[in-house]
Amino acid sequence: MRRPPTDPFPTERVRPFFWKTCDSCKQEFRREPGWLIIIPVANLFVCEKYLCEECAPTLATALAWRRKYTEYGPPPQPGDFPAPPPKRRH
């Protein structure tokens, strides 16, 4: 018997009971349909990402977001880079 390989880290449709933050638009949602994306980080560790239905209405959109996230890494946040040092006046 043969079959195509399955994804060990599936993308699931969820309706979270507690507040979850969408990793695309940074809005919180709960008791609404959304997507749980599990991304392997190292060995047995995984990273859980949530997407609301407004950002990813279909499974194909959620998988495209996951592929983009794993290929290019997370988008930079406003506080990630240090501010440039102040210029000195002579």
Q: What pLDDT digit, counting tens, does each position of 44-75 carry?
A: 788 889 999 998 999 999 989 888 888 887 76
At residue 81 the predicted structure's pLDDT band, cuts being 50, 70 and 90, is low
Please report the sign of the dihedral spanned by the C-alpha atoms of residue 26, residue 12, residue 3, residue 42.
positive
Domain membership of residue 82 (yes or no) is no
What is the pLDDT at residue 16? Answer: 92
Buried b (16+ CB within 10 A) or exposed e, 45-82: eeeebbbbbebbeeeeebeebbeebeeeeeeeeeeeee
Q: If you compute the radius of gyration of the chain from its CA atoms, what whole number of angstroms results?
A: 18
Structure tokens that stand for 20 in this block:
């979850």
26 located within any domain: yes
Q: State the total domains in the chain.
A: 1
Give the domain range for residue 48. 11-72
Report yes or no on 5 lying in a domain.
no
Domain-embedded: residue 81 = no
Residue 6 counted as domain residue: no
